[in-house]
Amino acid sequence: MRRNNLLLLLILLCLVSIGCPQTNFTPPDPAERTGAMLVRHGKYMYLIGGKTSTGEISNEVYYAEIPSDDSAVHWLPTVPLTLEAENGRSVPRAFGSAFVAGNLLYVLGGEDSGGPTDTILYIYIKPSNGTLGLFDNYSKWSKNPTPLPQALSHSAVTQHEGRLFVIGGKTPSGLSDHIYHARISPDGFVGNWYTSPQKISTGLQDVSVCVLPSFVDMVPMDSKLVIAGGRDEMGNVTSSVTTHDMGGWGLLSNPSSLASLPKALYATILLNNGDELIVAGGFDAEAQFSTSIYTYTAGSWSQPALISNREGPSFAQVAGALWAVAGIEDGDNPVTVERKSLPGLTPEPPNIFPSSGMVKSNTKVLGRSQTNGVMEYRLSSDAVWTVLPTSTPLLAITADSTYLFRETVGAASTIARRDYRVSVMETYPHISGDISVQSLPGAPDTWELETLFLGENLKVQPDTASERTTVLARLLIPADDEYVIRWQDKISTPSSSYTGKIELTLVENDLVTEAVDSSGLPVMERISTAGNILMALQKGTYYLRLSDVDGVAGTSFGLVVVRQ
């Protein structure tokens, strides 16, 4: 059976024979750990937190530069998991998810001594030398303003077109069957979370997830969210593999099943290699290490090679090599970070945020990674490859920037991206008032609407000087719950005395990201005849952008927001 000192870290994937080159490196902390997180940013790796064999959860963080050959890796301590806003309070974590977006390193959820948490921690990465924090010797981690929708550990996380997707996981009251998603805003904050109408089959932890993209002329098309394996509340392990088509605004559709894994597995690596899927390592139904690697292509799974005992679910990929932390089953062996050269593995390209505010929609950018982690890009298939200098992480950062990379490429600093955010806010410099959330009985068609106007003050009929064709109204959501927006204008049925034909969009606090309704669709440019809007919203600040479709200023309409 699986022992408490098993190292739930990162398995090492090998697509070729056991004899392929391998190098083992020992971080400075040799204690046995489980649930630590390994993540790569450019030419650096970070080893974060974990739970020791004595049950202590660690806040330690180490980093190392990835060599281009088999030379030794030199691990160094860096900023531990401590919160700057709380006088350096330690926030140890295990079984969370670490990821990178832009030059920010995040730790999402995970467990502390009290169990699963809902916090999202982040810190700036200096791309020039890999160290953490903006200021040497003074930096701490920060807490994202918006937490997870519930406390989670052992969940699976992936990114797609500027959005995070969180699948399953362990909560304080059981296992989750939800798929949550949130957009990473241009300033680097993780925005509000939405619950997809799509779910996994049952509550599961330790599932594995990846995005399987397809490309047309270097533009991502028809990507699929792939979910594999996992274990339920009773410890049953599944071999199922499911997919969902991925649309804009986090919309998932067309759930389908692929051929089942050759054996039931949990905590395994899952990644795409071009148009193939790869599953390796993890644990089987008897909680024993799996020594197999499987490749899915042309509708079936094959088993091309074996790997040593390793445990997933994540890993660090650098061009044709993969890095991972080996699993420990018995004894006092130290934690080892291992590298295998995989000539058949497609190099991981830089990730880009199309349609997220960080790069214009439909921008064609091609990126690639060298074996030493150096990133290159070009803007067309026949252009010359250009190296992105680590000392210059910004690419044309202006309000109308066309090309802006993130993750392994370097992306923008938090300060530069805040400048971009300000430029967006200046489009709507005036807030015309607040919309209060009501608690009303009865059916929506019985609710009394508040009469509002397109002007400097929503609640006062404007004169000529104060009329507007578009206004912003602040909406303060008091708690996580379901809410309904109902409004009427001159085209409503039955007809009303209102003078405007109003188009409504609900955006998050960044003034860019459209909120998503309970059906998974964006609340964007809705008209009154489209019906009431039902949403599950997190506590926080949102904005209603209200416009007259005909461009008439100062018109009136009725609106109410009700907490269900």
Strand segments, DSSP code E, in 95-184 are 97-101, 104-108, 111-112, 115-116, 120-124, 142-143, 156-160, 163-167, 170-171, 174-175, 178-183
Going by C-alpha positions, the residue among 349, 291, 352 that lies closest to residue 320 is 349
Is the Cβ–Cβ distance between 149 and 193 less than 8 Å?
yes
Q: How many CB atoms lie within 10 A of CB 67?
A: 18
Establish whether domains 22-341 and 431-563 are of one fold: no
Topology (CATH) of 22-341: Neuraminidase (2.120.10)
Q: What is residue 542's DSSP assignment? A: E
Amino acid letter for position 80: P
Q: Whole-angstrom Cα distance, residue 232 to residue 162? A: 30
Residue 291 has what pLDDT?
A: 74
Going by C-alpha positions, the residue among 18, 33, 110 that lies closest to residue 325 is 33
Predicted TM-score (pTM) of this structure: 0.77
Is the Cβ–Cβ distance between 49 and 60 less than 8 Å?
yes
Q: Look up tokens 């309904």; give the residue.
A: 484
Q: Look up tokens 């929506």; give the residue.
A: 444
Q: Whole-angstrom Cα distance, residue 78 to residue 64? A: 10
- Please return the burial class of 347, using the count of CB atoms within 10 Å of its CB with bins 0-12, 13-18 and 19+: middle
Residue 162 has what pLDDT?
A: 77
Q: 322: helix, coil or strand?
A: strand
Residue 222 has what pLDDT?
A: 73
Phi, psi at 336, each rounded to 5°: -125, 135
Biggest distance spanned by C-alpha atoms of the chain: 81
Going by C-alpha positions, the residue among 482, 496, 564 that lies closest to residue 529 is 496
Q: Whole-angstrom Cα distance, residue 276 to residue 240? A: 17
Q: How many CB atoms lie within 10 A of CB 191?
A: 25
Residue ranges per structural domain of the chain = 22-341, 351-425, 431-563
Query: What is the pLDDT tens value at each position of the chain, 564 positions in all?
Result: 333 333 333 333 332 222 333 444 455 543 456 788 888 887 788 989 988 878 899 999 999 888 777 777 788 999 999 998 888 999 999 999 998 877 789 999 999 999 999 999 999 888 778 899 887 666 899 999 999 999 999 999 998 877 899 999 999 999 999 999 998 876 678 999 999 999 999 999 999 999 887 655 544 457 899 999 999 999 999 999 999 999 888 999 999 999 999 999 998 888 887 778 888 777 888 888 777 778 898 889 987 655 545 555 556 666 556 666 665 444 444 456 666 655 556 555 444 433 333 333 334 445 555 545 555 655 555 666 666 544 333 332 222 233 333 222 222 222 222 222 222 333 444 789 999 999 999 999 899 999 999 999 999 999 999 999 999 999 999 999 999 999 999 998 777 789 999 999 999 987 878 899 999 999 999 999 888 999 999 999 999 999 999 999 999 999 999 999
**Tokens of residue 136, six digits:** 């040497």
Domain formed by 431-563, architecture: Sandwich (2.60)
Which residues, other chains included, contact 466 with Cβ-Cβ below 8 Å and sequence gap of 6+? 455, 456, 457, 554
Going by C-alpha positions, the residue among 304, 167, 185, 163 that lies closest to residue 247 is 163
**Tokens of residue 422, six digits:** 């300000």
Residue 367 has what pLDDT?
A: 52
